[in-house]
Structure formats: C-alpha cells, structure tokens
Homo-oligomer: A and B are copies of this chain.
C-alpha cells in the first residue's frame, strides 16, 4: 500500500488534477483542429470539457498558454524525462536502448498530450511557437545522435550514418501514436525494446 502510494506520488500526472489537464489539452487540440485556433474560444473549451470557465481559468491563464502546452510542452518534457532515465554507468548500447524504452514510457504516461501535440502540428498553418518546438525537438534528436555516436566510438555499433540511424529510431517511436491501442498486447516500452532488438541485431539470418 505504502509503495503504491509512493509510486502514485512520483508519477504525479496520474492524479485527478492531471487527468483534468490531459482532458483540457486533448479537447482543446480537437477544437483547434476542427475550428481553428482563432475560431476556438475559452468558452468552447470549457463546454467541451463539461467544466466551468472559472475552473478552466484556474488551470490556464489564456488560450495561448493551452496552445503552448500542447504544441511544445510535450517535447520539452519528453527530452527531460528521457535524459533523466539514461543509466549513467551503462554501456553506450544500453543507453541507446534506455532512450528508446524511456520514450515508450513517456508516451504511455502522457499519451493524450502526445496525441494533442501531434494534432497541433497539423492544425496550425501559422506555426505558432514553431521556433521553440523545433529547439526542443532538435535537442531530443541531438541526444539520440550523441548516444549512437558514442556506441560507434566504443566499437559496439558498426560505423553507420548517425543522422539517418537517429531518424530510424525516432520514426519507430514517433509513429506509435498512429497505431498503438492501450487495451491490448505489449506496453509501449516493451515495443520500443523490441524495436531496439530488431535494429541492433538486424533481420539477417545468421
């Protein structure tokens, strides 16, 4: 019991308040996608969530803050989440693998934000916050490239093209939101781990 409570406290996002946050973010993303950013009001968002406007304003100062949270919050937090979970004393391949499974864990934990963030990318022709988003995306991509380069330097990986290999890794993880269904099969971290095995060991029969 004590342990379960501690786990719950650590993974703060599982609390009721953040379920609410997740709901606000995904309803907002849906509205931005269908009615456009300009066509969506704070009232619309509150109504879609079935909450009062004052409760909505309790969570967010204005519409731009919601948008910012959808559009870039998730990439920034993804970077920090993954970086914290790389084993310091691990071998370079272990660190590449940890990057992948941590991304899977992040995806599972903040799935509604992740999906909202991807939808925001498509529904925002004016590219609001584009520069900040790209900065965090570049830092996240820079991290996997560095880990791959380390594994080449240590002699664990063959001398592959680092940017392309980084993209292969990110593609496998980023595409998950399009097909993954939480109710069945492997967890996202297990899927990421299997991808690591496929990419590391290859398909070729011995």
Contacts and interface: CB of A to CB of B under 8 A. Distances in A.
Interface of A: 30, 33-37, 39, 118-119, 121-123, 125, 148, 151, 155-158, 160-161, 164-165, 167-168, 170-172, 174-176, 178-179, 191, 194-195, 198-206
B122 A165 contact: no
A9 to B, nearest CB: 34
Closest 8 CB pairs of A and B: A202-B202, A171-B175, A34-B36, A122-B122, A157-B203, A119-B122, A171-B172, A158-B205
A91 to B, nearest CB: 13
A206 B159 CA distance: 11
Contact of A39 (B39, B151, B198, B205): B39
Given A34-B36, A164-B198, A165-B198, 8 more contacts: A34-B125, A122-B123, A158-B204, A164-B194, A165-B203, A167-B172, A168-B198, A198-B199
B205 A204 contact: no
Copies in the complex: 2
Contacts of A161: 194
A198 B122 contact: no
B157 A204 contact: yes
Contacts of A199: 168, 198-199, 202-203
Given A160-B198, A165-B198, A171-B171, A33 B122 contact: yes
A34 B32 CA distance: 8
A55 B92 CA distance: 59
